[in-house]
Amino acid sequence: MPKTRQEKEDIVGVVAEKFRNMKAAAFTSVSGLTMPQSDELRQKASEQNVEVFVTKKTLLGLAAKEAGLEGIDPAGFDGSILTAVSYGDEVSAAKLLKEFDKAHKDILTFVAGVLEGKGLTAEEVTALAALPSKQQLLGMLVGTLNAPVSGFVNVLAGNLRGLVTVLDAIKEQKTA
């Protein structure tokens, strides 16, 4: 049964609200996605604070326009469009889709994306998916900040080890 005009307006409103609250989004062309794969993708998405949905291109375009997104024209996308919207981390939506596609033999193809309200090309979304997550970057930062302190502690410990070695050698000489 076709959707009524009111139902379509409601869908546009809901999707536009998702776009307003998101950090980033990735749009993929989908072919051959089975129901169990869809359920798996939705479960992984919910674990990473990402929402995945499929909407008609015309409604997606209206929602993007209503949300004020620049450079997004779903009418030019090929095939059925799956949208992944990330609320926590800027790279999690693209990374999730890339990992899912890798595990399931090329059923998703990036067509576009959104970061900070600006449209991204498929190549830019692929590059975004290759970036480390926010947690990984924070871990790398902590390691970088900790490195000079660790080096300083090792230098101080080296001097103490040297002193202990010299004192031990003097003790050995006096007892021999």
In this predicted structure, which of 15-19, 65-69, 144-148 has the lowest mean pLDDT? 144-148
pLDDT at 176 over 90: no
E strands present in 72-160: 80-86, 108-115, 118-121
Residue 40 has pLDDT above 80, yes or no: yes
Q: Hey, is 133 helix, strand or coil? A: coil
Closest CA to 115 of 124, 123, 102: 124
Task: Give the pLDDT confidence score for residue 117 in this predicted structure.
Answer: 80
- What average pLDDT does range 99-107 have in this prediction? 86
Identify the band that residue 27 occupies on the pLDDT scale cut at 50, 70 and 90: very high
% of the chain exceeding 90 in pLDDT: 14
Q: What's the pLDDT at 159?
A: 77
Give residues with Cβ within 8 angstroms of 79, minimum separation 6: 29, 30, 31, 109
Tokens 């990473």 locate to 48
- Paired tokens of 52: 């995945």
For residues 130-154, give the mean pLDDT.
77
Q: Model confidence at 64, in pLDDT bands (50, 70, 90)? A: confident
Better pLDDT: 98 or 150: 98
Q: Alpha-carbon Rg of the chain, whole angstroms?
A: 26
**Count of alpha carbons within 13 Å of 65, Cβ hemisphere only?**
10
| 22 phi/psi in degrees, rounded to 5 | -85, 160
44 pLDDT band, cuts 50/70/90, is very high
| Dihedral (Cα; 110, 76, 80, 62), 10-degree rounding | 110
Q: Which two tokens stand for residue 32?
A: 């051959």
Share of the chain above pLDDT 70, in %: 99
